[in-house]
Each structure stands twice: as C-alpha cells, then as structure tokens.
Structure 1
C-alpha cells in the first residue's frame, strides 16, 4: 500500500517554498511516497500591525501547526528553525534538521548602496529585536522601526517609500529568487545571526517511528550539530524566539567555534563571547557560552526586555 505523508505548513510564500523543498527532497529518496500539503494561516501571519514580541513571540507560527497534528490531520510540520521555540510541547520532537542555507542578514535598499552609507537619521525597517540592537549599536543615529509581514509585504513597504532600507534574512530572499534585491549581506561581525537562521526543521510525533524513518534521511549532521549548540546557548539564557540574542556556530572538522551576543534594545550595551571545543560537546559548549554571557551581565539586559513584555519568553 502506498504510504501517505501529510505536511502542515504556513501559507506564506516562504513557508510554502520550504515545504515544497522538503516535499521534493523526500520524493527523491522515497519515489513511492504520496505527500499531501496542508497550508494554513497562523495567528502570527494574520496579526501584522503589532510587533511579534507583543503577541506571543514566534511560537505563534508553530503552535497552530502542532494543533493540526494533534487533531490527526497532519503527520509532520515544516518550520524555519528560528521560529521554533526552545522547548517543544510534550510528545513532539525534531526528526530532521536540513542543511543550513545562508545564515546572514541582508541589507535591502532602493537608494543606498550599503548599511554604512545610510544618511543620518535614515528610517530602517526590521521585525527583529536582535537586528535592532546590533544595528543601533553601530549606528545610534538611525530611526529603526518595526516591520512585519511576509517578504513580499516588507519589500512593498520599502518600495512605497515607508523606509530608506530594510533588513531581512538572506536565505528568505534567496529562496524566493529575490537575490537581486540584496545590496549586500551583513557580516556576522556587524550583525550576528539569529539562533539557527537559514535552517529548516521537520517536527513529528516522537512515538511515530515510521514517520521518523521516512524523514530522518534528510537530516544533515553538521547542521544538526550547529543547531544543537546554538539552541543550547539560547535555552540556557532562557531566551525566547524574539529577543536580542545572536549566536553563530561554525565547524572546523571535529571542532566547533561558537560566537554569542546579548544586546540592549537600544544598542547601548552589547555583550559578546565566544567558545571553541569538540563537536561532540556541542550542547555543553552552547551552555558554557551562555554562562560566559551571564557572567558579563546578560540576565539584567534580558530581564529588562521581559519586563517590557511578558510574552517574550516564548
């Protein structure tokens, strides 16, 4: 009998690209598998006039897909890993972490060549507190404003003249074949990426070993190691999905190098730390990196963020 796999996904163009990509990759390995996509709009997709941090953080993008699975309609859900909360609901697990695409942030502008060349007081759009903190640390003169919506919506607001420039994930623009909109990628030294930025994950029911067998062929070991380290750091910091925390892990054969960052929302204080060790110790190294940041005073910065918004620990 032909096996059917049902995938819950958000309806946004980028989410659909990710899910179609997973579908195509699975079909290469399992040509007899019938894959059905179940697109839906989540609360995070619908409420676009309020900053994410104010309405529950990025977990809004995953919870309703999990509900669809709980109702028995879907077997797996495909997520951008940076939207996945640090703690999954009981019974759920990540069955595959796909090879990471570009982890960087992209500078997009119609009138300015680079972030550095923006004029004094320019209006910069971003939905990310992490980007806001880091970019204000370099350019405190900028007017950084919230920017929500899918990639097309954000680009439309830029094109309408509401912003002088915007910053988006490089991988999202590349996946939607909008590479020509990228003026340049921001180096990690300027803007450290979000936890697992550029990485796609597949969520499944932990007890569903048959489904795990189907999806785990897509797991990319090196990306899994980097993901483990980055999520461990964020988890130790009790960082939600929408906080001014950056982290970037890189592999060098059997070694892993990790950089971490916590920033005040206004960019007035940026704490950084780094750590290196064996890839087999990725999780512990991520935790140790968080401890280094906590020793520098990261908790006080994060407490202030949470004091401004009780939902942020999503």
Structure 2
C-alpha cells in the first residue's frame, strides 16, 4: 500500500478543501481497487506569515505555494492542494498540475453589515478587500466608495467587518461555499462588474512530474472543462507576467459545443480610473490566453502594468 503525504496550508479553508479532495481521492481508490492511504502535512507559507502588509506590497510570486512546492521537491510530501488563483503562471522544474477538479463558483461576492447590495451602498461607504483586482473594478464601477485593505483568513475578515468600521467586505464566493458559510453572502458580483482572479474557484492538485503512481491517480480526478478554462486564464496571466501586485482579472468558460472557449480579461489601475477589457474565443486555451493578452498589450496594458509595478 502506498502512503501519500498531502501538503496544505494550515488555514481553516485550506484544511477544509484539502480534506474534501482527499475524501474524493479515497473514493476513487476504492472504486478502482487502488491501495492507498493519505496523510496531511500542514505547511506555513510566506503569505501566511505576513498579515500586516497588503499582498501587493509583499511582492513576488507564489506567496502561498513556494514552501509547499519546495517540500514536494524535497520528497517530504507527494502532492499538494492549492487554490488555483495562488498558483504562479510558471511552475518549478519537476512539478506539474496533475489534476484540476470541478470548479466551484468563480464569482466574487459582497458581504455588508446591513444587507445592502453594491448599488445600494451609501456614497463614501468603506469597503474592505486585500485585492488590487477587486478594488480596481469596484472603484471603476463605484468611484465614490472608499477602499481599505483587509488581510487575514476568511473568518478573521468576517470579524473585521463587525469590528473595524467597514460597511462591506469583498471575498471569493468559492471559499465561503466550501466552508458552508454561503448564508453570509449579501450579493454576488457578476463578472461583468468584477472579473474574478485567474483560476478563482478552481483547485490545483500539484505533484512531481516523475511520480507515475500519483499522476495516474490524479488523472482520474481531473475535470476537463475546468482544466481548459483555467489553462486559458493562466495563459493570459503568464503573457502579462502578472501576480498579486497588479490588477489583472480573467474568466473563461466552455461554450455549448464543448470545444470553443470564451475568455474575458482585464487590466486596470489600482484606483479604477483606467481599465482595459476584452473578450475573445478560441479552441486552444493557452494560445487564446496569449492572444487576448496581446490584444490588451496593443491597447496599452504593458504600460499600465509598468506604472503599477513602479
């Protein structure tokens, strides 16, 4: 019997979604007669240690995955469960995304103190978010709102809504749903108003490229439509060389023919004054992402991102 050590961050959300993945992998093992047991290993990442600075100021890529990836390269763990939106566009040599499970709701959502939606918030209302992407798009839509950074895990951000003077906070719907806290959501933000982060709502199951046992197991867990959509979004991100420190959003979905991918992407300034957005369709995900990024670059996206990066 093979014992697989699964790396995860130690936040409540990370442990919950990793536990859900392990349960499904155990079901696959039972169904296919694969003898395997699983053990969780909690790993603290740089992004978990630094909570008093916004992600955009911490800089760098892989803030929530680098230490986990190193543990995999060192043979301490065999696979890892990540939120796809935390994954850099380029993986370290020797590591691959072995599976992309079915995507959860990719939308952002708004949680307000008094139940008012985005359009009903009063002028000057204070909205908390740790994301330049969210603040860019919300300020573009409602320039009268005040945006302030709020860091921490989901539960601590929800507490800060009550204790630190915020009128609303913005979070990813997927995390709240996985935690069973969907009843806290006041309103969902459609992609037309707020494009999600690349890969938002999707998970990435990462492993070593030379571990055939794990690769074969994860292949049974992969959701092809989600994989294609996320690949298009990641192609877009990679071409723009994006990360947490720049306002970039993208969302792709497969159309009814099961082959055509529709991808929408945006690049903006943190204050929301400038925003570039385009939509394209194609059948090769990574090439589609690159083509859409090039279209925005032709419109000035590279100059805009260079301004943001300083």
Q: Quote the residue 1:37 is aligned against.
A: 40
Q: Quote the residue 1:221 is aligned against.
A: 224
Cα drift, residue 57 of structure 1: 4.5
Cα drift, residue 161 of structure 1: 4.0
Q: Quote the residue 1:197 is aligned against.
A: 200
Q: Quote the residue 2:16 is aligned against.
A: 17
Unmatched tracts of structure 1, length 5 or more: 308-314
Matches of 2:100 and 2:175, distance apart in 1: 17
Cα drift, residue 277 of structure 1: 2.2
Would you say 1:83 and 2:86 are equivalent positions? yes
Cα drift, residue 56 of structure 1: 3.0
Given that residues 93 and 203 in structure 1 are in contact (C-alpha distance below 8 angstroms), is that contact kept between their aligned partners in structure 2?
Answer: yes
Q: Quote the residue 2:236 is aligned against.
A: 233
What CA deviation, in whole Å up to 9, does each residue of 1:136-171 have, x standing for no partner?
001111110111100001001002143110000000
Q: 1:122 to 1:57 in 2, by over 3 A?
A: farther
Given that residues 14 and 172 in structure 1 are in contact (C-alpha distance below 8 angstroms), is that contact kept between their aligned partners in structure 2?
Answer: yes
Unmatched tracts of structure 2, length 5 or more: none
Given that residues 59 and 245 in structure 2 are in contact (C-alpha distance below 8 angstroms), is that contact kept between their aligned partners in structure 1?
Answer: no
- Superposed structure 1 runs of 4+ greater than 2 Å apart: none
Given that residues 59 and 241 in structure 1 are in contact (C-alpha distance below 8 angstroms), is that contact kept between their aligned partners in structure 2?
Answer: no
Cα drift, residue 93 of structure 1: 0.8
Matches of 1:67 and 1:255, distance apart in 2: 36
SS at match of 2:295: helix
Q: Quote the residue 2:112 is aligned against.
A: 109
SS at match of 2:75: coil
Would you say 1:177 and 2:176 are equivalent positions? no
Q: Quote the residue 2:147 is aligned against.
A: 144
Q: Quote the residue 1:268 is aligned against.
A: 273
What CA deviation, in whole Å up to 9, does each residue of 1:22-77 have, x standing for no partner?
10010001133200000122221121110112223451210111122233210011
Given that residues 245 and 309 in structure 2 are in contact (C-alpha distance below 8 angstroms), is that contact kept between their aligned partners in structure 1?
Answer: no
Supply the RMSD in Å over aligned alpha carbons.
1.1
SS at match of 1:4: strand
Equivalent pairs, count: 304
Q: 1:306 to 1:295 in 2, by over 3 A?
A: same
Deviates more, 1:154-163 or 1:262-271: 154-163
Given that residues 58 and 242 in structure 1 are in contact (C-alpha distance below 8 angstroms), is that contact kept between their aligned partners in structure 2?
Answer: no
Matches of 2:17 and 2:261, distance apart in 1: 27
Task: Give the TM-score taking structure 2 as reference length.
Answer: 0.95
Given that residues 106 and 173 in structure 2 are in contact (C-alpha distance below 8 angstroms), is that contact kept between their aligned partners in structure 1?
Answer: yes
Cα drift, residue 242 of structure 1: 4.0
Given that residues 112 and 118 in structure 1 are in contact (C-alpha distance below 8 angstroms), is that contact kept between their aligned partners in structure 2?
Answer: no
